[in-house]
Chain A
Amino acid sequence: NAGVTQTPKFRVLKTGQSMTLLCAQDMNHEYMYWYRQDPGMGLRLIHYSVGEGTTAKGEVPDGYNVSRLKKQNFLLGLESAAPSQTSVYFCASSYSVLPQHFGDGTRLSIL
């Protein structure tokens, strides 16, 4: 599935470390999203973008930053990782407001 690609697939961090998750899509979609998925909970929107150079906060934005310098890429940054940010992170893209294509996720553990 070359539609939405997330890197890395797995990562273990220590508390306080920083890292960037990369999402790339090759479908020329305007809308891109970052979600986190935790056990027993539905996916929750962290940040989203409605086009190159734009970003906006979602439901759970605290502790994360994003950038959309190029239309095909959407970066999610953790400046100072905390154990509460241990989760599976999904990127998605779409032509319209409802996310259509998801990547296969990044599994992030913070010790």
Chain B
Amino acid sequence: KNQVEQSPQSLIILEGKNCTLQCNYTVSPFSNLRWYKQDTGRGPVSLTIMTFSENTKSNGRYTATLDADTKQSSLHITASQLSDSASYICVVSVRGTYKYIFGTGTRLKVLA
């Protein structure tokens, strides 16, 4: 069964600290993986998209990694800011289809 699991479910960190969010998937065949940020009451906003051959991709303070062999991805946030408080959603698409499997997200809270 195609699944995307994210951990932790929620996370609280202090402003300025780094954190890493995990995404494990069992989707096959794999096409690409995207990380979204969703602020409360808003729609998801794309942070990065990674294909099978990409290991690392950065977007400012956000760095995503992909290990296609172990079917794991991580999103690393450097020097967190209060505005990073949001849910982070991992999405994996099934190659050759319009099927995208969404994770349930990690809810991050950054405290001053």
Could you tell me which A residues sit within 8 Å of B by CB distance? 4, 40-45, 48, 50, 56, 58-59, 90, 92, 97-105
Contact = CB atoms under 8 A, between A and B. Distances in A.
Most buried by B among A40, A41, A98, A105: A98
Contacts of A42: 4, 89, 101-105
B60 interface: no
Interface stretch (B41-49, B69-77, B78-86): B41-49
B32 A102 contact: no
From DSSP, what is the main secondary structure of chain A's interface residues? loop
Contacts of A105: 41-43
A90 B43 CA distance: 7
B45 A102 contact: yes
Given A98-B34, A102-B43, A104-B42, A43 B93 contact: no
B70 to A, nearest CB: 21
B87 to A, nearest CB: 10
Contacts of A98: 31-32, 34, 49, 91, 93, 100
Interface of B: 4, 31-32, 34, 36, 41-46, 49, 89, 91, 93, 98-105
Given A50-B98, A58-B98, A98-B34, 10 more contacts: A42-B102, A45-B99, A45-B100, A56-B98, A59-B99, A92-B43, A97-B31, A97-B93, A104-B42, A105-B43
Contact of A102 (B4, B44, B98, B103): B44
Contacts of B105: 42
A102 B104 CA distance: 17
A48 B43 contact: no
Nearest to A44: B102
Q: Which 5 A-B pairs have the closest CB atoms?
A: A42-B102, A102-B43, A43-B102, A104-B43, A102-B44
Contacts of B41: 104-105
A56 B15 CA distance: 44
B5 to A, nearest CB: 10
